[in-house]
Amino acid sequence: MSSSFALLSLIVALPFLGMLFVFTTKSQKETQGHNAFHVCVFTIFANIVLIWRVFMLINEKSRDLQLQEKFNWLSTPDINIVFAVDTFSLLLILSMHIAVLIGLIGVRSNIYKQKSLMVFTLLFLSMATGFFVAADIFSFYMFFEAMLIPLFMLIGMFGEVKKQDLIYRFFLYNFIGALLLFSATMLIYYYYGSITLQQVAKIHIKSGVGIYVWSAIFLAFISRIPIWPFHYWISSINSGIRNPLAFVITSFMPISGIYGFIRFLPSNFSADINNYIVWINIIGAVTMVFIALIGLINRDAQYKIFSYVTIYNIMYLLGVLTNDNIIEHNIGYSLFCFVIIVASLSVINSYIYHKEQENDSDSRGFLCRARRLSLVYSFMIIAAIGLPVSAIFINNFLILSKLLGANLEIGGLLIFAILIVGVTLLQELIRLKTNDANCKLGKNDDISTWQFVFMLFVIFVLVMSFLNPLWFVINE
pLDDT value at residue 199: 82
Q: Among 155-164, 439-448, 460-469, which stretch is predicted with the lowest mean pLDDT?
A: 155-164
CB distance 132 to 93 below 8 Å: yes
Q: What is the mean pLDDT of residues 64-73?
A: 85
With 70 as the cut, is the pLDDT of residue 276 above it? yes
Q: What is the mean pLDDT of residues 395-411?
A: 87
pLDDT value at residue 156: 78
CB distance 222 to 314 below 8 Å: no
Q: Is the dihedral of CA 417, 460, 59, 80 positive or negative?
A: negative
pLDDT value at residue 335: 93
- Tell how far CA 384 is from the center of its chain: 15
Question: Among 10, 144, 129, which Cα is nearest to 69's?
Answer: 10
pLDDT bin (cut points 50, 70, 90) of residue 273 is: low
Q: What's the alpha-carbon Rg for the chain, to the nearest Å?
A: 22
What pLDDT, in 10s, does the model give residues 302-358?
888 988 999 999 999 999 888 888 888 889 999 999 999 999 999 998 888 888 888
The Cα 171–Cα 445 span in angstroms is 38
Question: Among 337, 298, 364, 287, which Cα is nearest to 464's?
Answer: 337
With 90 as the cut, is the pLDDT of residue 425 above it? yes
Among the ranges 27-36, 119-128, 215-224, 233-242, which has the highest mean pLDDT value?
Answer: 119-128
With 90 as the cut, is the pLDDT of residue 62 above it? no
Report which of residues 32 and 82 the model is more confident about: 82
With 90 as the cut, is the pLDDT of residue 170 above it? no
With 90 as the cut, is the pLDDT of residue 371 above it? no
The pTM assigned to this predicted structure is: 0.92
Q: What is the mean pLDDT of residues 181-205?
A: 82
Amino acid at residue number 66: Q
With 80 as the cut, is the pLDDT of residue 82 above it? yes
pLDDT value at residue 1: 46
* Contacts of 92 by beta carbon, 8 Å cutoff, 6+ apart: 132, 255, 259, 332, 335, 336, 339
CB distance 44 to 454 below 8 Å: no
pLDDT value at residue 422: 92
SS (H, E, C) the chain: CECCCCHHHHHHHHHHHHHHHHHHCCCCHHHHHHHHHHHHHHHHHHHHHHHHHHHHHCCCCCCCCEEEEEEEEECCCCEEEEEEECHHHHHHHHHHHHHHHHHHHHHCCCCCCHHHHHHHHHHHHHHHHHHHHECEHHHHHHHHHHCHHHHHHHHHHHCCCCCHHHHHHHHHHHHHHHHHHHHHHHHHHHHHCCCEHHHHCCCCCCHHHHHHHHHHHHHHHHCCCCCCCCHHHHHHHHCCCCCHHHHHHHCHHHHHHHHHHHHHCCCCCCHHHHHHHHHHHHHHHHHHHHHHHHHHHCCCHHHHHHHHHHHHHHHHHHHHCCCCHHHHHHHHHHHHHHHHHHHHHHHHHHHHHHHHHHHCCCCCCHHHCCHHHHHHHHHHHHHHCCCCCCCHHHHHHHHHHHHHHHCHHHHHHHHHHHHHHHHHHHHHHHHHHCCCCCCCCCHHHCCCHHHHHHHHHHHHHHHHHHHCCCCCCCCC
pLDDT value at residue 161: 60
Amino acid at residue number 56: M
pLDDT value at residue 361: 74
CB distance 139 to 84 below 8 Å: no
pLDDT value at residue 197: 84
With 90 as the cut, is the pLDDT of residue 196 above it? no
pLDDT value at residue 458: 94
Q: What is the mean pLDDT of residues 194-198?
A: 81
* Contacts of 136 by beta carbon, 8 Å cutoff, 6+ apart: 80, 81, 82, 194, 195, 196, 197
pLDDT bin (cut points 50, 70, 90) of residue 27 is: low
With 70 as the cut, is the pLDDT of residue 270 above it? no
Report which of residues 191 and 104 the model is more confident about: 104
CB distance 350 to 242 below 8 Å: yes
Q: Is the dihedral of CA 275, 279, 282, 285 positive or negative?
A: negative
The Cα 129–Cα 97 span in angstroms is 9
330-341 burial code (b ≥16 CB/10 A, e <16): bbbbbbbbbbbb
With 90 as the cut, is the pLDDT of residue 279 above it? no
Q: What is the mean pLDDT of residues 106-129?
A: 86
The Cα 384–Cα 346 span in angstroms is 12
Q: What is the mean pLDDT of residues 214-218?
A: 84
CB distance 287 to 227 below 8 Å: yes
Q: What is the mean pLDDT of residues 187-199?
A: 82
Q: What is the mean pLDDT of residues 139-165?
A: 80
CB distance 436 to 361 below 8 Å: no
Report which of residues 164 and 46 the model is more confident about: 46
CB distance 347 to 106 below 8 Å: yes
pLDDT bin (cut points 50, 70, 90) of residue 200 is: confident
Mean pLDDT of the chain: 84
pLDDT value at residue 159: 67
